[in-house]
Structure 1
Amino acid sequence: MNATFRPTVQSFNRKKIVVVGMETHVCVLQTCLDLIKAGFQVHLVADAVASRVNENRNIAIDILNRQLNSQTSKYSSFRESLIYKGLQKCRPGKIEIFSVRP
């Protein structure tokens, strides 16, 4: 993790990090592994990552899932699951903010 990124992330005073991004097999993979090594709980949003070659993306997700499953409270899921998990903590009347509109 580079010298600028780590202090920025630590300044948020959060241990759980949601990760999305491009080039899953390079950028996302390395970021997740660095965050895990730094003691963060990583939540990889599997349908919000991409690579130019789908096979590269799938292999990276598999590598990360094996790593994440070996850690406590770290996992991968999908956008919809993440949104609904967040909704569980919303106050009544605030749920429409997260509604998906066509």
Structure 2
Amino acid sequence: MRIQRENSLLLIVDLQIGLLPVIDGGDQATNEAAWLGGLAGELDVPVWLTEQYPDGLGETEPRLLKGLPGAIRWRKVHFGAHDEPAFASALAESDRRQIVLCGAEAHICVMQTALGLLEAGYEVYWLVEATASRRREEARLAMTRVTNAGAVAVSADMVAYEWLQRCDDERFKRAHRHFLKARASRSLRF
């Protein structure tokens, strides 16, 4: 059950400017999501961003918007993104069945999105270091709950190398240069 770039979509949930200041590990989650999102762009893996009530919580973190210019943004009122009819319909039409999922808050919107995706038959890959909550314990509980429901916990490195698959083509060389540069300063200063 490997993650295939042709079948994947990176879904970044609610990394918003009004929410991030109270998230334990919010900067790390943003940096990891930005790093993997940049690689996704190199490899033609779609990146989708959700925003929960942006009038109150603000828009997506500007570093993500700047670094992921091809990302599709979805506004939502449901905590679970898949409960939004337009989102669910567009996802079904995308033919992407493997969803690499991250964001905030892990125990609310990310978890409910994961559970909805699993119920709808998608493979869900919980990107551990890019998923956070106000309290770290709640993020751990959410990960346990969704992995018990069938999601798979992964790291950004796991996803990156599964997407890349091999080292003998130009995409790997470009992506690997990007990877090494970002890893040298993993905090990804923008």
The CA RMSD measured in Å over matched residues stands at: 1.6
Alignment partners' CA distance in 1, 2:120 and 2:99: 12
Letter in 2 for 1:58: R
How big is each residue's C-alpha offset from its partner over 1:61-94, in whole Å with a ceiling of 9 and x where there is no partner?
A: 11111111xxxxx522111111011110676121
How big is each residue's C-alpha offset from its partner over 1:29-60, in whole Å with a ceiling of 9 and x where there is no partner?
A: 00000001111111111111111110110110
TM-aligned CA deviation for residue 97 of structure 1: 3.1
Letter in 1 for 2:108: V
Structure 1 vs Structure 2: percent identity of aligned residues?
27
Alignment partners' CA distance in 2, 1:14 and 1:61: 22
1:43 aligns with 2:125: yes
Alignment partners' CA distance in 2, 1:90 and 1:15: 25
Unaligned runs of 5+ in 2: 1-82, 185-190
User: Which is further off, 25-34 or 80-89?
Assistant: 80-89
TM-score (norm 2): 0.48
Alignment partners' CA distance in 1, 2:94 and 2:168: 23
Equivalent residue for 1:22, pick from 104, 129, 136:
104
Q: Give yes or no for contact 2:167–2:173 (8 Å, CA) kept in 1.
A: no
1:55 aligns with 2:162: no
TM-score (norm 1): 0.85
Letter in 2 for 1:85: E
Number of matched pairs:
97
- Structure 1 runs of 4+ off > 4 angstroms? none
Unaligned runs of 5+ in 1: 69-73
How big is each residue's C-alpha offset from its partner over 1:13-44, in whole Å with a ceiling of 9 and x where there is no partner?
A: 12111111110000010000000111111111
1:75 aligns with 2:146: no
Which residue is 1:71 aligned to?
none
